[in-house]
Amino acid sequence: MLTCPFIPMFRRSLGFLCFWGLFGGQTDGQACQTETVAPRVNVLLICIDDLRPELASFGVPYIKSPNIDRLASRGRPFFRHYVQAPTCGASRYTLLTGTYGPSNNNALFQRSRNIQSASLPGWFRQHGYTTVSVGKVSHHPGGRGGKNWDDDSILEMPQSWDRHRLPSGLWQHPRGAMHGLSHGEIRANPKEMDVFQSTEGADEIYPDGLITATALEELTRLKASDQPFFLAVGLLRPHLPFGAPARYLTPYKNLRLPTIPHPQKPTGKTTWHGSGEFMKYNRWQQNPNKDAAFADQVRKHYAACVTYADTLTGRILDRLDHLGLAEKTVVVLWGDHGWHLGEHAIWGKHSLYEESLRSPLIIACPKMQAPGKPSKAVVETVDIFPTLCDLTGLVKPAFLSGHTLLPHLEDPSLTGGAAVSYRGAIKTIRTTTHRLIQHADHTELYDHQQDPGETRNVSQDQPDRVIKLTEQLKRHLDSNAKSK
């Protein structure tokens, strides 16, 4: 039985599911005597693409993120949350299946050909929830395949959603919206599309404005139903290209940004790469690694996209409050991976450095204890599925690889933990003090107590630590392989 004082407590008595605590019933742990089933807790999952912990509530004070910060103030921000893979599709695979998996963007489509276990929304759907996705929740916005990602016969996540929506508007189809700029501009040849843009107009001149409007519509529709809901909303920004309405750039135009930490290209064998996703766009023949002024322009446009996504997040949270749903809804805000803004001379994701793998995670529950206090424990995306089961009273399926974060929601002072990530055959484990990156014929070890920027490989200096972390990494992956 759950003992967390701010979370719904659950007990099965006489075949009925009984709730107390959150809904005003008993709190002394005695058996529930009522013979009626209390309302179930809803879930609102907000996924934000390419969002590094570039938020005021996560220690970046110059970023304007009042709405996400508001959520953090009433929830539990996890300052050391790590994704399993530094790429959209593979990271979302872990979130939506609760297991480790392939490290490519087609991971969910590969799974769809041989489904052996329920997805996260599918599990809730099996247990009586209405499940709805809006925007980019799985890798393809709207969750479909085909040439323009709008083929209803090719689903990224079969048996998962009652409705999966992507309003295309002027962008014609989900593929067009994915990398769309203002007023319906669709990416064809990336070299002909600007890497960043700031255009005067309303929020709806970019795809995320339409996604948010649809999410608000769905919340109102779900409120009218008598079923609990699992609503997932996926915002595209700050994914490349960096485009947002002009007013979101205004706070940053004349701002003096802090210096980029450790901007040098690393030496030796690492997971450094040439920022190919970023460099393929039109950059007006400028390179941010060689031009500090241009680098600042890029960073400011990224920040503008974060503030744009924050405003849209605020609209969703406001609608939740307005509809009277906040007190019976668990809210999870999740960034699908980090993003380099010049650290290690990388502009993008796809490395196994801290900047690629660390992303924001906030979990907000009604009547939380110590709201707003951050957790500094090392946690993983794979932990979200079992946590949501605990928070809603659903039994956890046996195939899950992660561990519930319930103890950290009850007590934010808990520390420890480890997170495993991968990119192809290269694997890494992050503990509270170190990061080990294991190549086939080479090892990187970074001591975060002395070198939080991961700039000096100390594997030769700490051979015992290498052995210990290599064994821990193997045990972690082996135990999860056995659980599948």
Cβ neighbour number for residue 403 with a 10 Å cutoff? 15
Question: Which domain, by its residues, includes 403?
Answer: 42-419
- Taking only the tens place, the pLDDT of each residue in 153-212 is 999 999 999 999 999 999 999 999 999 999 999 999 999 999 999 999 999 999 999 999
The DSSP annotation for 435-470 comes to EEEE-SS-EEEEETTT-TT--S--TTT-HHHHHHHH
Percent of the chain with pLDDT over 70: 91
- Kindly give the residue spans of alpha helices, DSSP state H, lying in 168-291: 174-178, 207-223, 276-279
DSSP for residue 290: T
pLDDT greater than 90 at residue 385: yes
**Is 114 inside a domain boundary?**
yes
Distance CA 460, CA 467 (A): 11
The residues carrying an active-site annotation are: 88, 139
The pLDDT value recorded for residue 480 is 63
Q: Which of 354, 412, 416 is nearest to 379 (CA)?
A: 416
Distance CA 325, CA 253 (A): 38
Average pLDDT over residues 423-428: 96
**Is 255 inside a domain boundary?**
yes
**Is 14 inside a domain boundary?**
no
Look-up of token digits 């255009």: 199
CB-based burial, 43-61: b 16+ in 10 Å, e otherwise: bbbbbbbbbbbbbbbbeee
- Taking only the tens place, the pLDDT of each residue in 338-376 is 999 999 999 999 999 999 999 999 999 998 999 999 999
CA atoms within 13 A on the CB side of 87: 16
- Taking only the tens place, the pLDDT of each residue in 56-74 is 999 999 999 999 999 999 9
At 308, phi and psi to the nearest 5?
Answer: -60, -50
**56 φψ region: left (φ > 0), alpha (ψ -120 to 50), beta (else):** alpha
Average pLDDT over residues 301-321: 98
Distance CA 318, CA 68 (A): 12
Q: Which residues contact 369 (CB under 8 A, 6 or more apart)?
A: 4, 5, 6, 410
**Is 174 inside a domain boundary?**
yes
Distance CA 341, CA 257 (A): 12
**Counting beta carbons within 10 angstroms of the beta carbon of residue 2, is it exposed (0 to 12), middle (13 to 18) or buried (19 or more)?**
middle
Q: Which of 456, 242, 459, 425 is nearest to 353 (CA)?
A: 456
CB-based burial, 3-38: b 16+ in 10 Å, e otherwise: ebebbbbbbeeeeeebbbbbeeebeeeeebeeeeeb
Contact (Cβ atoms closer than 8 angstroms) between residue 55 and residue 63: yes
**Is 425 inside a domain boundary?**
no
**CATH number where 286 lies:** 3.40.720.10
The pLDDT value recorded for residue 189 is 95
DSSP for residue 358: B
Output the CA–CA distances (angstroms, integers) from residue 284 to 240, 243, 294, 296, in the order listed: 16, 16, 10, 15
- Taking only the tens place, the pLDDT of each residue in 220-245 is 999 999 899 999 999 999 999 999 99
| Band of residue 478 on the pLDDT scale cut at 50, 70, 90 | confident
pTM for this prediction: 0.93
Q: What angle do CA 102, 104, 107 make, to 5 degrees?
A: 60
pLDDT greater than 90 at residue 39: no
Average pLDDT over residues 470-478: 89
CA atoms within 13 A on the CB side of 252: 26
**Is 445 inside a domain boundary?**
no
**Is 173 inside a domain boundary?**
yes
Q: Where are the beta strands (DSSP E) in 136-206?
A: 144-145, 151-155, 163-165, 196-199
Number of domains in the chain: 1
- Taking only the tens place, the pLDDT of each residue in 248-297 is 999 999 999 999 999 999 999 999 999 999 999 999 999 999 999 999 99
Distance CA 422, CA 400 (A): 18
**Is 18 inside a domain boundary?**
no
Q: Which of 139, 141, 131, 144 is nearest to 166 (CA)?
A: 141
